[in-house]
Chain A
Amino acid sequence: MNKFLWPLIGFIALVVLLAVGLNLNPRDVPSPLVGKPAPQFALPQLHAPERTFSPQDMAGKVWLLNVWASWCVSCRQEHPVLVELAKNKSLPLIGLNYKEVRGDGGIDMDKIDAASEKRMAYQRANGWLQAHGDPYTLTAMDLDGRVGIDFGVYGVPETYVIDKAGIIRMKHTGPITPDIFSGKILPLVAELSK
């Protein structure tokens, strides 16, 4: 009995370790930005290019920042969840359009100048929102992805929960599912809105 006890315990421990490891999502990299102030930026708005949006504009509110692009396949998957959430107008949802043109692998950037890139980006983003519904309070346009780098964006879609003081409270990488929204995001927003 004793002879097999320790190897058995060792084996079970190894299996548990491997099982936990296999079930972790390697995409779920903990963001060092959680608990820190949201990086500042000023980017033109999709529907009013002459006006800029900056996170300071949202001071005093709990809000969501959702990074999206029309070329992003998973964004299409999460979009209905966002449209549903937008029906309840209490939670502001700001879109950050990430590299609309140059993020699309199919476009040769050497053949496009800055002005046409901008024109194309606005056209594509607007077209996509018209086709799929626009859940966003407003969308800011990050054409070159520089703001994305400050937010540590590495896979679209990404969603940030930002509190009244402008501190990032949560980051979700990948599409938001109804479970994640009602199970994780909503309770956190309720807590922060108190």
Chain B
Amino acid sequence: MKRWLICLLFALGAAGLHAKEAAPLAEDELTEKRMVAISSELRCLVCQNESLAGSHSELANDLRREIRTLIKDGKSDGEVMDFMVARYGDFVRYRPPLKGTTLLLWFGPALLFIVGLGALVRYLRRRDLAVNDSPLSAEEQRQADALLQAKDSQP
């Protein structure tokens, strides 16, 4: 009986411990959400096609921990972003700021589109001019009629 009581006590104790651990987790939900939001905007430098939020690399782990610490220290999202950019450069941001060196990056695709559109319009206009109305000669008209009639008479 005594043994059972002790077991029960331990079980209750363990349950109590569990409850204590859960509390900070709930509190951390906001930190975690902000961390994920920020790190989704950042490139992982080790696996450059992955975001910092999605990468399993060692460095990404470290940086996510660093971001958590910064958030807990009361830093704003902007300040966390500045921290990362100061160390790794604009390259870590998936949406780099608009400035002289990034103009081509931001507007290059639109520029290429406009050039392509211009070329297409030019080409179509020229083709239009090339196939401009050239009326059939009498002989051609006769041939065309003959062909059409031959087709009509078919079943």
Candidate in B48, B66, B87 with the most chain A CB atoms within 10 angstroms: B87
Number of B residues whose C-beta is below 8 Å from A? 16
Please state if A154 and B45 are interface contacts (CB–CB under 8 Å). yes
B residues in contact with A151, CB < 8 Å: 87
Q: Does B63 contact A (CB under 8 A)?
A: yes
A29 B87 Cβ-Cβ under 8 A: no
List A contacts of B59 (CB < 8 A). 145, 154
Q: Which parts of B53-67 form the interface with A (CB within 8 Å)?
A: 58-59, 62-63, 66
Is A21 among interface residues, defined by CB-CB distance under 8 A? no
Which residues in A have some Cβ–Cβ distance to B below 8 Å?
A: 6, 26, 29-33, 99, 102-103, 105, 145, 149-152, 154-155
11 extra interface residue pairs, beta carbon distance < 8 Å, beyond A103-B58, A152-B87? A6-B119, A26-B48, A29-B91, A31-B88, A32-B90, A33-B87, A99-B58, A149-B63, A149-B66, A154-B45, A155-B46
B45, B62, B66, B89: the one within 8 Å of A32 (CB):
B89
Decide: A30 and B63 in contact? CB cutoff 8 A: no
A-B contact pairs, 8 of them (CB 8 A): A29-B45, A32-B87, A32-B90, A99-B58, A105-B58, A149-B63, A154-B46, A154-B88
For A102, give the chain B residue with the smallest CB separation: B58
List B contacts of A105 (CB < 8 A): 58
- CA–CA, A155 and B59, complex, Å: 9
How near does chain B come to A86, taking the closest CB pair, in angstroms?
28
Q: Which of B45, B63, B89, B91 contacts A155 (CB 8 A)?
A: B45
Residue of B58, B62, B66, B86 with most chain A CB atoms under a 10 A cut-off:
B62
B85 at the interface (CB under 8 A from A): yes
Are B87 and A30 in contact, CB atoms less than 8 angstroms apart?
no
Smallest distance from the beta carbon of A74 to chain B beta carbons, Å? 14
Q: Which residue of B lies closest to A150 (CB)?
A: B87
**Set of chain A residues within 8 Å of B86, measured between Cβ atoms:** 32
Docked Cα-Cα span, A30 to B46, in Å, equals 14
Query: How far apart are the CA atoms of A29 and B96 in the complex, in Å?
Result: 14
How far, in Å, is A65 (CB) from chain B's closest CB?
A: 15
Which partner residue on chain B sits nearest A36 by CB separation?
Answer: B86
Closest B residue, CB atoms, query A104: B58
Given known A105-B58, A154-B59, contact A29–B46 (CB-CB < 8 A): no
What chain B residues lie within 8 Å of A103 (beta carbons)? 58
Ranked nearest first, the 9 interchain pairs of A and B with the lowest CB-CB distance are A154-B45, A152-B87, A32-B89, A29-B91, A152-B88, A145-B62, A154-B59, A30-B89, A149-B66
